[in-house]
Structure 1
Amino acid sequence: MAALQVLTARPKRAARLTRNSKLFKTIISAIRQKKGENIVSLDLRKIQEAVADFFIVCEASSNVQVRAVADAIETEVKKHTGELPYHHEGYQALQWVLIDYVNIVVHIFQPETRKFYKLEEMWNDGDHIQHEA
């Protein structure tokens, strides 16, 4: 039940974002700075059930790199936009870290975990764009 309470207590999305928004570009840049790989953005704006406008998904090859990418995202976003995440989780196991900025949810996976959960397949109704690392 706690998970359901988190979803119902989640703030409503603000104005819709685009891939040109400062938040979006800052997240992609932070991932690149820490050598995150296989960066994909999923545009979920046309999916009524979606909890965010975008998912940004990437890989990091080790626990250390997952933490480095996640920390860089939070630091750079705060520095350039002043925004703090609404929620984040996964910092204990570092197999899949989720950082929720309400309109954009970032997923940082280790490769095996990404293959197992197949997040991009679950949200394949959204437009996928591969971002060069």
Structure 2
Amino acid sequence: MRTTPEGARASTPPTEFVSERRDSAALLDRVVHWLDDAKAEDVAVIDLKGKTSIGDFMIIATGRSDRHVNAIAEQILQAFKDAGCERVRVEGQPQCDWVLIDTGDIIVHVFQPEIRAFYNLEKMWSADRGAEPVAH
């Protein structure tokens, strides 16, 4: 049987957990801005909270070619580094048909158009509610 330590409230999440969730929402806005600066196309945000523990948000974007996908990924990686994000993992370079950038709280997918259409992550992760397209 699990018990709550004396003086603690069971319904209150730890302060650092609340802070991390708030920080991921603030970082989300910055990442969308960085993608816009990098000329990423068709940017969509999927709220993962309550669906999975892999992260809070997934961002899906398109680059026109392998060079464009690589340029977007490099720009986003540098922006994360400049923002002090230390736990950034990258998959998909140097092929650059699909690059995944994982910060733990936010996962960024940058696709070439045909690869994005093939995998259709928006449909997979937004079965119960649609991905939110981001207006530029």
Q: What TM-score comes out, normalization by structure 2 length?
A: 0.78
Q: Could you say which structure has the greater relative contact order, defined with CA pairs below 8 angstroms and 6 or more residues apart?
A: 1
Q: How far off its partner does 1:17 sit?
A: 4.2
Please list every run of 5 or more consecutive structure 2 residues that lacks an aligned counterpart in the other structure: 1-16
Q: Percent identity?
A: 32
Residue 58 of structure 2 corresponds to residue 55 of structure 1: yes
Q: Which of 26, 30, 45 in structure 1 is aligned with 2:30?
A: 26
Please list every run of 5 or more consecutive structure 1 residues that lacks an aligned counterpart in the other structure: 1-13
1:42-121 correspondence to structure 2 within 5 Å: 42-47=46-51, 49-79=52-82, 81-121=83-123
Q: What TM-score comes out, normalization by structure 1 length?
A: 0.79
- The answer on whether the counterparts of 2:99 and 2:111 sit within 8 Å (CA) in structure 1 is yes
Q: Which of 16, 23, 41 in structure 1 is aligned with 2:21?
A: 16
What RMSD, in angstroms, separates the aligned Cα atoms of the two structures? 1.8
Kindly tell me: are residues 85 and 38 of structure 1, through their superposed partners in 2, closer, same or farther at Cα, counting changes over 3 Å? farther
- Give the SS at the match of 2:100: strand
Look at both structures and tell me which one has the larger radius of gyration over its CA atoms. Answer: 2
Aligned residues, how many? 117
- The answer on whether the counterparts of 2:24 and 2:56 sit within 8 Å (CA) in structure 1 is no
